[in-house]
Chains A and B, each alone.
Chain A
Amino acid sequence: MALKASNIKVGDTHEAVVVENLTRTQLVMYSGASGDYNPLHSDEIFATKVGGYPTVFAHGMLSMGMTGRMLTDWVGDGRLTKFGVRFVSQVFPGDNLTAKATVEALREENGEQLVDLALSTVNQDGREVVSGSATARVDP
């Protein structure tokens, strides 16, 4: 089900919990599926002794992918025309992430109804880990 322009207005928000207690195993799953095998994301010994980090941490693209789930669950499948993010803070095993979209504008372009969204994903401490924006086609 796609989002309808008539059901939303500027300032409306939608949010969803996209992961609770992020596991190291999920980081391994993401490494395998994406092909990003950087040991900083899966190799505790490398991440701590060589990298100097407190433990392994999530691929930025995993946080973006999880943020994308909130987005596609809300706007509908195959509706995104743009999706961009900035990786603001690192995401670690054990984190809970909540992703939020805020309606910035409703507009028409080439006969299509579009919604512009601001995106923010925060961890359990309320610290922003991903900020971004997206545009999606919506029904009238």
Chain B
Amino acid sequence: MAVERFPVEASHIMMFARSVGDPNPIYHDEDYAKGAEPGGIIAPPTFVQASSQYDPDAALRPKPGQPWFGSGREPSGTPRGGGGGGGGTGLHAEQHFEYHRHLHPGDVLSAKTRPGKSWEREGRRAGKLKFSETITEYFDQNGELVITARSVGVQTERVVEQA
């Protein structure tokens, strides 16, 4: 994921907070927020995940004129990459954030991403599991590190069995 410019905007924060079911006025009411400890609207703690909106190559966003793997006339618009077979799939296993400060509307972030560790283990409900870590550092408009994110993805051999 390469995000060169992620402008943090008030309406995006409001919609993101709504989508996680959080009615806290600190995320949408400027007058309330001015009188609260942060001194203005801030973003919810998981908001930087929305940086993918500003990733030109985000694989999980349909793009005009390009095949999309979700359903249309057929259940899937295109075969999925990575082979795997057996209905195995890429899933999000872990997510960790470290906050050096919290985000405000008007911040303009850039992200630097690097691969971390990778490992494998045998899972009980989805066959062989291949884990890989990605570290993303978000910098603000002054070049200050504001959030460090560590994401762990897992590629499963087959669909996760439901208990």
Binding site for B on A (CB under 8 A): 2, 18-19, 26, 29-30, 32-40, 43, 45-46, 49-54, 59-62, 64-66, 68-69, 71-73, 76-78, 80-87, 90, 127
Contact = CB atoms under 8 A, between A and B. Distances in A.
| 10 A-B pairs with least C-beta separation | A84-B96, A39-B70, A65-B20, A52-B87, A35-B53, A49-B75, A35-B52, A33-B19, A29-B19, A60-B92
B71 interface: yes
B141 interface: no
Interface of B: 12, 15-16, 18-22, 24, 26, 36-38, 42, 44-46, 49-53, 55, 58, 60-62, 69-71, 75-76, 80, 87, 89, 91-99, 102, 150, 159-160, 162-163
A85 B149 CA distance: 12
A77 B87 contact: no
Contacts of A66: 20-22
Contacts of A84: 94-97, 150
B36 A51 contact: no
B45 A26 contact: no
A38 B70 CA distance: 8
B69 A46 contact: yes
Given A64-B46, A66-B21, A32 B15 contact: yes
A58 to B, nearest CB: 11
Contact of B76 (A2, A33, A46): A46
B45 to A, nearest CB: 5
A83 B45 CA distance: 8
A129 B50 CA distance: 22
Contact of A53 (B20, B94, B99, B159): B159
Nearest to A82: B98
A61 B75 contact: no
Contact of A45 (B20, B42, B53, B71): B71
Given A32-B15, A83-B96, A68 B20 contact: yes
